[in-house]
Structure 1
Amino acid sequence: MPERDTPRVLALCGSLREESRTRIALDVALTAAGDSGVVTDLVDLRGLTLPSLHATDGTPPDADRLCERVDRADAVLLGTPNYHGSYSGSLKNALDYCGREEFADTTVGLLEVAAGAVPGSALIHLRTVCRTLHAWTLPTEVAVPDSHAVITDGGIADDDIAQRVRGLGRELADYAGVARYPELADQPRPSGDIGDVHD
């Protein structure tokens, strides 16, 4: 069996806010993934020029760069704020530029940040998109409620939610590239219940 290259875990931040709670949560997950020995990468859409798909002739250079980074990743973490019960338009537009060439057989994790006490359907909608892209989406997903109180500049104040977010990062590291390395699918599930926080 050939030696496995160091896996790459990429997070795609669907928030364009300067002080983004989604970005902070993604950083927590990526730090945990990095501690597991993978290479991490955060795609901040604020730094990319991505007009609405087909709004201009040709493909913007930043779209090609985005697709290259996603294609190189063994696992992708999609993070979004909850906008009107779904995920953000900026994340939708970024995903529109990508396709099955970039996402097929890629391990994907899902994270939602909500202002209210009850997160909406953003993760359900993203899971449908990932299924269409032929991605290998983790059963574990994390929704962060009351984010204005839970997420601070210093990180995630709620220990249980912080553990869930870190656990998601570790799972992305554990199962990065699982479709290309089938032996990973036989690994035991990481200890601890880090399911979503809808209950």
Structure 2
Amino acid sequence: MKIVIIAGSNRKDATSTMLAKALEAQMNRLFVEVKLFNLYETPLPFYSPDDIFNSHDGVRELQRLMLEADGIVLTTPEYHGGMSGVLKNALDHMGKLHFSGKPVLSVSSAGGAVGVSSLQQMQATVRNLHGINSPEWISIGGSQRSIYETEAAEGVIVLDYRAKEALSIFMELVKKISSGEKVEAS
């Protein structure tokens, strides 16, 4: 099973990126092949339909990873009720070819209690790219954010029970779909 995580922030120590790294670490502990694509470390040019065959190395690398992936995790900070501009821009560089039939786990970090608006926006985008939204999502906010920030400063990031459960449900969905097993709607 191959999973790609897109860390959708252009801030160095974004909580959503720390959460992406915690998800990556948890999957590594479970011996899942996972690749984290960090948009802070590899910024992409603005998408333009006039430049559809983009020669940018970062765009080509992300497109290659997405083609090879069995499942996708999208992480974002919530900005003004939506996903980050850098994540939306990265998704604009992708198409149905990269998402069709693949499970996607949406993850957000919000300044308030939870980032529901950004999660709904990501799920709408995934549907339009013909991806399969995981029935669970992960959102951290408020005091949860400070826990991740403190743990990151200490070099240890641990997912809480709820996040582990959502990740487990997502990975089970990836496993079923990639093996061709019938999936029941819940």
TM-score interval (norm. to shorter): 0.7 to 0.9
Structure 1: 5+ residue runs without aligned partners?
1-6, 156-160, 190-199
Deviation >6 Å, runs of 4+: none
Call closer, same or farther: CA 1:149–1:47 in 2, change over 3 Å.
closer
Post-superposition offset of 1:111 = 0.6
The answer for the alignment partner of 2:58 in structure 1 is: 62
Post-superposition offset of 1:148 = 4.1
- Alpha-carbon contact 1:29-1:170 (below 8 Å) kept: no
* Farther off after superposition, 79-88 or 15-24: 15-24
Q: How does 1:168-183 map to 2 (within 5 A)?
A: 168-176=166-174, 178-183=176-181
Q: How does 1:16-35 map to 2 (within 5 A)?
A: 16-35=10-29
The answer for the alignment partner of 1:150 in structure 2 is: 147
Q: How does 1:13-162 map to 2 (within 5 A)?
A: 13-54=7-48, 57=51, 58-59=53-54, 60-146=56-142, 147-155=144-152, 162=160
Distance 2:141 2:151 in 1: 17
Distance 1:154 1:43 in 2: 21
User: What's the RMSD between the two structures over aligned residues?
Assistant: 2.5
The count of residues paired between Structure 1 and Structure 2 equals 178
TM-score under structure 2 length normalisation: 0.85
Aligned with 1:176: secondary structure? helix
* Farther off after superposition, 17-26 or 162-171: 162-171
String of CA shifts for 1:36-89, please: whole Å, max 9, x gaps: 331111001123241111288551232111110111111111000000011000
Question: Hey, which of these two has a bigger chunk of helix by percent?
Answer: 2
- Alpha-carbon contact 1:49-1:62 (below 8 Å) kept: yes
Identity score, percent: 23
The letter for the 2-side match of 1:172 is F
* Farther off after superposition, 138-147 or 168-177: 168-177
Aligned with 2:174: secondary structure? coil
* Farther off after superposition, 42-51 or 132-141: 42-51
Post-superposition offset of 1:176 = 1.9
Distance 2:114 2:39 in 1: 26
